[in-house]
Amino acid sequence: MTAKTIYVLNGPNLNLLGTREPDIYGHDTLDDIAARLAARGEELGVTIDMRQSNHEGHLVDWLHEARTVGAHAVLLNAGAYTHTSIALLDAIKAIGVPVIEVHLSDPEKREPFRHLSYVGMGAVQCVKGLGPDSYLVALEAAAAL
């Protein structure tokens, strides 16, 4: 692994980005976002490892892996698991790797059930409401940690 690897983990339904609900999530696909992160990562001298899963346990395993490989930081858009997953919170607290919570939309400006964030209880920071730029802003913050 290079000096700084940043894991970018994406949760359920984010594989559908760019295909549905563009009014909320924009027109970019997850691959578009990955390409932008990789390009900026290169400029910053960090390696981006971006993944998506619809399965909570995969996200837990990848958080553990971030610790094992000595990742510099994790950007985590846990999708709807943000609002439900104590397992993700426990993993975030366990790994000792800083996690930045990322959201395309601003969950606090949406339905009340999106206002609670378990991920936020363990994350060092949250970047939200900027569309795909949320990931880029989070990357800048992560690289500077």
Cβ proximity to ligand CA2, 47 vs 54, nearer residue: 54
Among 34, 73, 88, 104, binds ligand CA2 (CB under 6 A): 104
Q: Please report whether residue 72 would count as binding ligand CA2 according to CB under 6 A.
A: no
Residue 17 binds ligand CA2, judged by CB under 6 A: yes
Q: Which listed residue (7, 25, 118, 135) binds ligand CA2 by CB under 6 A?
A: 25
Annotated catalytic, 118? no
Give the DSSP letter string of the chain: --S-EEEEEE-TTGGGTTTS-HHHH-S--HHHHHHHHHHHHHHHT-EEEEEE-S-HHHHHHHHHHHHHTT-SEEEEE-GGGGGT-HHHHHHHHHH-S-EEEEESS-GGGS-GGGS--TGGGT-SEEEESSTTHHHHHHHHHHHH-
Considering the rule CB under 6 A, would residue 27 count as an interface residue with ligand CA2? no
Given the residues 72, 81, 103, 118, the one annotated as active site: 103
Residue 21 in contact with ligand CA2, rule: CB under 6 A? yes
Among 1, 20, 39, 93, binds ligand CA2 (CB under 6 A): 20
Q: Which residues are annotated as catalytic?
A: 25, 103
Q: What residues line the site for ligand CA2 (CB under 6 A)? A: 13-14, 16-17, 20-21, 25, 77, 79-80, 82, 103-105, 107, 114
